[in-house]
């Protein structure tokens, strides 16, 4: 099997995507094709044996083969002939904008490319934290109280302490915990650097958090172990950056089977059917003995490989069972019937 790793993008999380893509070499053992989307949204075919972070920061990738995205896949021209980059499925590992907001999914759908990753609808609902809250409520999953404030109206009514997050961003970029009123203005300024709207939630000291990843292969949900991450106050950008290159397996949380099943049930409510074809990770809080969704990670760092026992097999099995896109037959039957009724050919 050949899988194309598509990464980069015009995003605040561009560099994280590079780190995450390189890490997949250690955990996926079929043939990998690396396709890089640079800041100008041009695509390049990167030699898998020569891929490293300096290739991108130093601009060396500009000497690699430039690709065109068109019907059926990626193509390049050599000696006046056009060649197709052959692969069985693409893996969307673009984090943040372009990858998680639906742009790349729209391109793949439009050009008929098989891919592992959230579809357009799933991307839109999970990229915007406000939409995520609405979606979770609609499928019966609890979320913490929240409010959305904007640059034009930055007034917060939730009692301190609070956590402030840019509405459309991940990797803990622009996130702050505010305990005192004097810290609020600065925290909002930081968040508004990245988005015109921010999500505000109550900050719960020492809350238990549990992470689970999974996907649906055929008719079967495949779950990872449930992890209780080693937490500090919040995971800052630097720690998340390193986390996206993680390939070492983690320990399973010590929970009762009843609690495990409750977390898996909430994950399944989020996953089905919206996220079919994607490997996602959901982070849950346990508050007063009840499960609450913290966030959906539609493109988790290195696809959360560290949570799975047989990640390579999972990815290849998913690639073989991706949802089939319904092909619409365009027959011009309606126009022809009108023309026939008018006596015209």
Mean pLDDT, 10 residues at a time, the chain of 345 residues = 97 93 95 97 96 94 97 94 97 95 96 96 96 97 96 92 90 87 93 93 93 97 94 53 66 94 98 96 96 95 94 97 88 86 65
Alpha-carbon distance of 332 to 213, in angstroms, equals 45
Q: What is the predicted pLDDT for the residue at 327?
A: 84
Nearest of 74, 32, 68, 77 to residue 50 by alpha carbon: 32
Q: What is the predicted pLDDT for the residue at 27?
A: 95
First-to-final CA distance of the chain: 50
Q: What is the predicted pLDDT for the residue at 160?
A: 95
Q: What is the predicted pLDDT for the residue at 232?
A: 59
| Token pair recorded at residue 326 | 């319904």
List domains and CATH numbers for the chain: 2-117 (3.40.50.20), 124-142+206-320 (3.30.470.20), 147-202 (3.30.1490.20)
β-pairing verdict for 65-70 and 73-78: antiparallel
Q: What is the predicted pLDDT for the residue at 199?
A: 95
pTM of the model: 0.90
Q: What is the predicted pLDDT for the residue at 278?
A: 98
Residue with tokens 């809350």: 207
Q: What is the largest CA-CA distance in the chain?
A: 78
Nearest of 44, 16, 34 to residue 100 by alpha carbon: 16
Q: What is the predicted pLDDT for the residue at 29?
A: 96
């Amino acid at each position: 099997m050949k899988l194309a790793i598509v990464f980069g993008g015009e995003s605040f999380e561009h560099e994280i995507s590079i780190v995450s893509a390189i890490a997949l070499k250690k955990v996926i053992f079929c043939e990998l094709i690396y396709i890089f989307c640079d800041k100008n949204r041009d695509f390049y075919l990167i030699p898998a044996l020569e891929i490293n972070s300096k290739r991108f920061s130093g601009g060396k990738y500009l000497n690699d083969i430039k690709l065109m995205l068109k019907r059926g896949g990626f193509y390049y021209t050599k000696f006046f002939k056009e060649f197709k980059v052959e692969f069985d499925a693409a893996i969307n590992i673009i984090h943040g904008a372009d990858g998680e907001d639906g742009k790349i999914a729209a391109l793949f759908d439009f050009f008929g490319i098989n891919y592992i990753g959230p579809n357009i609808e799933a991307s839109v609902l999970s990229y915007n934290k406000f939409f995520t809250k609405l979606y979770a409520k609609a499928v019966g999953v609890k979320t913490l109280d929240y409010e959305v404030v904007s640059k034009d109206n930055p007034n917060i009514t939730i009692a301190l302490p609070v956590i402030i997050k840019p509405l459309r961003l991940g990797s803990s970029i622009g996130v702050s915990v505010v305990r005192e009123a004097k810290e609020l203005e600065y925290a909002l300024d930081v968040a508004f650097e990245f988005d015109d709207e921010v999500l505000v939630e109550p900050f719960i000291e020492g809350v238990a958090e549990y992470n689970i990843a999974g996907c649906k292969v055929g008719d079967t949900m495949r779950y990872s172990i449930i992890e209780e991450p080693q937490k500090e106050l919040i995971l800052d950008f630097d720690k998340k950056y390193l986390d996206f290159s993680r390939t070492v397996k983690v320990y399973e949380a010590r929970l009762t089977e009843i609690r495990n099943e409750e977390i898996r049930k909430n994950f399944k409510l989020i996953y089905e059917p919206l996220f079919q074809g994607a490997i996602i990770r959901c982070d849950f809080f346990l508050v007063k003995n009840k499960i609450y969704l913290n966030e959906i990670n539609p493109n988790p760092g290195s696809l959360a490989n560290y949570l799975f026992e047989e990640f390579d097999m999972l990815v290849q099995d998913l690639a073989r069972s991706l949802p089939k896109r319904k092909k619409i037959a365009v027959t011009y039957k309606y126009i022809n019937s009108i023309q026939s009724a008018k006596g015209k050919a």
